Structure 1
Amino acid sequence: MWMSLLALGITGGLTYLWLTRGFFSALLHLACVIVAGAIAFAVWEPIAYAILKPAPKSGTFWWLGGSAFAIALVVGFAVPLAILRVAIDKAIPGNAQADKIPDMVGGGICGFLAGGITAGITVISLGSLWVSQDFLGHQRLVWNGADSSLRSSSRLLLLHVDDWTAKFYGRLSTTTFEPKPEMALGRMYPALADVPSSIRRTRDRGRGKNYLRPDDTNLEKIYSVGLDENGNVIDGSSVALLLRSRGEQTETNRNIRVTDRKGNDLLQPGAYVMGYIMNFTAGARERSVSQVALTPAQVRLVCEDADGVATEVFPIALLSRVDPGRSTDPSVVAGIVAYERYSLTDDQGLGTVAGDGTPRLGIEFLVPAGHKPTALYVKNLRFDVRSRKPDVRFVSGFERQRAIDNRTLFGESAVAIDESKAVTVTLGENPRTRGVNATASIQPRTTIQAGTEGSLQVNSQRRVVAGIAQYNVPDMNRYQIDRQLRIDSFEPTPGTNLVQIFITSGDGIDDPAVDFSKPPLRGLFDRPMYLVDTQGNLYPCIGYVYKGAQYGGIRFTRNDPLSGLADLPQLPGPTVRNLSIVLLFEVTRGARVRGFVLGDEMYIRFEPPQEFTN
């Protein structure tokens, strides 16, 4: 509703403005708008990437990355338009007059066209902000539960300015304004008007993360199901067999449908499956949980037919590591890393195993008959797959599932850890006495009064969810206030245990197991810190609590792990007094932690390995 009114207001306002200015002036402005729009879409990705790369993961401007594509389009349009207007006004200061009626009609038509383009770019830009799914009442994509697919919504604008703008520049990009053919807007973004809605369709109805930075993920491996070594569809290949996982009778071509956003059936002879395995860093995590989360709308594959006509498809399945805290498989419970394929039956998507520091996800698409993949988009981060051949080929879904079950598809994910410098520390029956503790309470003991938490994000139960803040130490020791006003605990990610490591003496700890004031850790402040479990999975340090003589602070940033102990405002040392520091880690429930790692080297080996419970 409100987006429609905005589009109508912009279009109507500019129509009236240029109707009064006359045809010649309106025509010049229309030309400026068309050129500025072409420039905007040409530089949209480069500007967005330039914003994304240095975008902070926490702090005051943590929201910047989520608005990168919106800012890029506005800047890419407004700046060239302003320059062109100034140049045109200088070059042609006068105005040509025609008869009043034709002059007004011509001006109105040009104003309407310029207004439509301006409104279309505005709608696409605003829709790309990190906002709720139905922002200003405009949501182009809806989930169709009947066939488990995303469809174009009927809740479109009264004036379809986003559609008009997308089609206009998409057509220009393949004709008059064509750059390199494969880089044309119409081929890279065949459903441009739907992109903002796909970006916003995150977990928790838009509250989840809507972007990735270029260094947050990389494409590790590509596999196909139903293609031969030459990239041709295997003769006689059954589409139904490509989709079946373990031969369940429920997955047959009689009761499973895969459709595009217009409802067209993609389960046609000649279709095949492409899978993409992505590596993620901790920077790809959500702000509020130690997980990478993807919904079906946030991932899309652009495919082209032999004539270069592009279409876009959404995934049919995601492959993720089995959560050891929820599995009944004895091998998984024992710590073996296993993966499973999950068909997408709703629009909630899938998250990685909670706490996993280096997660991987597989994403599967059904490619329409006669098409080949050209670009993969993950939260609108583009990967060119046009010339990349599959690393692994499977004849059928059975073979693909067998490769998942025997762990050959994903291969080894554990990082090789050098243990040559490791010192064994015996934790005994009470690891708390050595500074190793699993609790959601803020340690060392801390109570902050609600309303004075500053930049910390706190939920309705007054538990810390995310953020960085500094305080005067007395403001962290408000133990006597009413319980309803206390902030004294963190909100761990479901499926994890919050492990807190004391690295300084005091608080009942005389000899901390992890101590940076003495060998082997003394002075090693510039390396990322991890806990490692018995299967080699790493869990990054996601924050700290510290109290000095005068000042203290809290950092809890799951998507922005510490790059080293040097990130703390105060550092420990053999002569430093009145300083308490606790490091924070989220560990997958059921994992057995065996050591403390800096970079890829273990310095402290825990004996015995610890399985924690909050």
Structure 2
Amino acid sequence: MILNILVLVLVLAMAIFWSTQGLFSAFIHLVATVVAGAIAFAVWEPVTLGLLLDPLTSWAWATGLLLPFALALIVLRILSNKVIGGNLKLPSLADQGLAGLVGAVSGVLTAGVCLLGVSFLPLGPALLGYQPVEVQTTARLGPPTNDAVTTSLWIPVDRLTADFFAFASTHGFSSHRPLGLLRPDLDEAAARFRIGQFYDPNASLVANPSTVAVEAVRVYDGELPAEVPALLGQFIAESAPTRNGDRLVLVTTRWEALKDTATFDEGILRLPPVQTVLLAAPPAGPLAMHLPVGWSKKPVTSSTAAFYGVVDNRSYASSELPEETITFVYAIPENQDPVYFETRMLRIPLGEPEQGAAGDGAVVADLLGEPAIEAGEEGDAGGGPGVNVSPQNAAAAAAVGEPVGNAALKALSIEATNRLPGRISINAASGLDVEEKEVISGRQNVQKGDRTATVDSIRTPPGQVMVRLELSPMSTSQALPTRVVAKVAGGDGRYKLVDTRGNEFFARATVWQKDAGEQEIHVTDRLDNAADLPINRLQDGDRLFAYFAMPDGLVLDRFVVGTMEQDVDFTVGE
């Protein structure tokens, strides 16, 4: 509602003002607005990527459009006033009426450019209550289901402006790389840009060109060959938005966290589907935008890797490693050819893709990090595709080494699971955010569930595996009071898991299961303060668990609390 009123006031104000100036003056201003907009869109990408991305980061794409538009419009108005000193007089009714109409058109274009520019600011998915699209099931965009947001404007200035300059870029202001072909549906792209903050309000919305590269592109025509890994094949066959004759495109990307770049946010990479799109060329017209139907990360040591399908607007790929290889999977019509991989407005040319063929499953297997399935061999369908598919080890928990150093706690065992120690009832979990039998966030002491209790696990981030540690107080000879853990010489009081490469992982959840069966559950983005753990309050029969989310295939090396370390020889996902 607020944005609708602001747009309406601006357009009406422009119409009223220029109706008082006359048709000729209004027309001169309209021409200046059109030219300024064309200049702004023409220099938008080079100015943003070449000058603004490093110093302004999240503000770069908005500033790269709005600043050239404002400067060009000011300069053009000054020049026009100096060159054209007089005015044309027409009959007053026609002069004022037509001038008001022309002024309203100028207002629409001005408001549209401003709205498109502001839409590229890190302001969250809804801009003053306006959110035209969201990611729905199986990689489709559609109107938000949230009734609290507005999905369309009374005067759709963003769409009208995007369509006008897209048309102009292929006609009167045409070039060899026109906006209308390379940036289809710019108003939708602006909305997609902000959706990235649906997952984390602090997540980065930009990608530095030096931090991401396309390593390989593979195209499969017609039916999927039998060698395609089972989880991917199952998802494509049952859930993905594919049609007969669709082409399967696999784009393998390499991501690297470099110093002073904003692609990773505090060492974490989060890539929702709207930030990793494929631009494909149809026989004629603008490029078509395709969201991924899923992705797979190449494992570090594991011989298998899970495929994760885009099943709703919570799906996203992520990584906490300084370097990561991710293969994105797209399904596109057979008459389109992949041209660009676009991530956070950064467009990367794909070049000439390799053509896949039946019997060439080794290549697909290599891209997806899985061994090829021999003809006639039945693949493992796992737990089914979806946002919460995470390989969880069903084997008994593995032991860890003896602690070296002083701390108030130690680890007893480690296993790959996201299960709660005991089920809880959703009706009793009023203080927790629960969805589909999983706890997403919150903190509450929950009573023991009955036989009908259905909530049984902690939400695992897509593309990761949940690792659970059981913690225990140190023996009397080793223990230190929890309150002084942070003061141990050389230690910081944090508890964490460390892999063989030195990457550190912090807990996302802790569960204190009491002897009577109730559980104190705490789930959030990061937990690391050992002083916050109830070590000194554990009674006989109580158990304490910490949950860590991390990529599949990592080899964990040690558990650390302050200066205390325990050896851990555990491969995630095996």
Q: Is the 8 A contact 1:301 1:312 kept in 2?
A: yes
The correspondence of residues 210-609 of structure 1 with structure 2, limited to 5 A, is 210-215=204-209, 217-226=211-220, 233=221, 237-238=222-223, 245-246=229-230, 251=235, 255-258=238-241, 267-269=243-245, 271-282=246-257, 283=261, 287=265, 290-321=267-298, 336=302, 338-353=304-319, 355-385=320-350, 387-390=351-354, 393=356, 395=358, 402-403=365-366, 404-406=368-370, 430-432=403-405, 533-534=499-500, 537=501, 539=503, 591-593=555-557
1:190 is matched with which residue: 177, 184, 189? 184
**Do the aligned residues in 1 keep the contact of 2:225 with 2:358 (CA within 8 Å)?**
no
Q: Answer whether contact 2:196 2:205 (CA < 8 A) is retained.
A: no
2: CA distance, partners of 1:102 / 1:251: 62
Contact 2:207/2:343 (<8 A) preserved = no
| TM-score, scaled to structure 1 | 0.59
Decide which of 196, 199, 202 is 2:193's aligned counterpart.
Answer: 199
In the other structure, the counterpart of 1:453 is none
* Structure-1 separation of matches of 2:505 and 2:143: 42
Question: Which residue number corresponds to residue 452 of structure 2?
Answer: none
Question: Is the Cα–Cα contact under 8 Å of residues 44 and 65 in structure 2 kept in the other structure?
Answer: yes
Give the Cα separation in 2 of the matches to 1:394 and 1:223: 14
Shift of 1:110: 1.4
Q: Is the 8 A contact 1:142 1:150 kept in 2?
A: yes
Partner of 1:47: 47
Matches within 5 A, 1:9-20: 9-20=9-20
C-alpha contact (below 8 Å) 1:170/1:186 kept by paired residues: yes
Corresponding letter in the other structure for 2:141: L
The one-letter code sitting in structure 1 at the alignment partner of 2:326 is L
Q: Which residue of structure 2 aligns with residue 329 of structure 1?
A: none
Name the amino acid aligned to 2:331: L
CA deviation profile, 1:394-427 (whole Å, cap 9, x unmatched): 548966663335469xxxxxxxxxxxxxxxxxxx
- Counterpart position of 1:3: 3
Q: What is the CA deviation profile of residues 308-359 of structure 1, one whole-angstrom value per residue up to 9, with x for unaligned ones?
A: 532211111111256xxxxxxxxx8xx5375332111112222334x32212
Question: Distance in 2 between the 1:284 and 1:362 partners?
Answer: 21
Aligned residues: 424
2 CA distance for matches of 1:313 and 1:508? 53
Distance in 2, matches of 1:209 and 1:28, equals 43
Q: Which runs of 5+ in 2 are unaligned?
A: 145-149, 373-400, 412-440, 444-463, 470-485, 492-496, 507-524, 526-548, 559-564
Q: TM-score, normalised by structure 2?
A: 0.63
Secondary structure of 1:114 counterpart:
helix
Matched residue of 1:352: which SS? strand
Following superposition, the deviation at residue 140 of structure 1 comes to: 1.6
Distance, in Å, in 1 between the alignment partners of 2:76 and 2:197 is 41
- Cα displacement (A) at 1:460: 10
Residues 206 and 10 of structure 1: CA distance in aligned 2, closer, same or farther (over 3 Å): farther
Q: What residue in structure 1 maps to residue 142 of structure 2?
A: 151
Bigger shift: residues 106-115 or 336-345: 336-345
Name the structure 1 match of 2:169. Answer: 173
- CA deviation string 1:117-168 (max 9, x = no partner): 00111111111110121121211213333x5511256811111111111111
Structure 1's 429 and 242: CA in aligned 2 closer, same or farther, altered over 3 A?
Answer: closer
**Cα-Cα RMSD:** 4.4
Mapped contact 1:244–1:251 kept (Cα < 8 A): no
- Note closer, same or farther for the CA distance 1:373–1:402 as it changes in structure 2 (3 Å cut): closer
Q: Aligned partners of 1:388, 1:540: CA distance in 2, in Å? A: 39
Q: Name the residue aligned to 2:85.
A: 93
Give, in whole Å, the separation in 1 of the partners of 2:359 and 2:61: 39
**Cα shift at 1:217:** 2.6
Q: Which residue in 1 is equivalent to 2:73?
A: 81
In the aligned structure 2, how far is the partner of 1:320 from the partner of 1:129? 30
Q: Give the 3 Å change call, closer, same or farther, for CA 252–27 of structure 1 in structure 2.
A: closer
Q: Is the 8 A contact 1:304 1:311 kept in 2?
A: yes
CA distance in 2 between counterparts of 1:178 and 1:337 reads 51
Q: 1:110 aligns with which of 102, 112, 128?
A: 102
Alpha-carbon separation, structure 2, partners of 1:301 and 1:588: 24
Task: Answer yes or no: is the 8 Å Cα contact 1:133–1:139 preserved in 2.
Answer: yes
% same residue: 21
TM superposition shift of 1:251: 4.6
1:114 Cα deviation after fit = 0.7
Instruction: Return the letter of the residue paired with 1:592.
Output: L
- Alpha carbons of structure 1 residues 360 and 497: separation in structure 2 relative to 1, 3 Å: farther
Report deviation, 1:23.
0.4
Conservation of the 8 A alpha-carbon contact between 2:15 and 2:101: yes
**TM-fit CA distance, 1:360:** 2.1
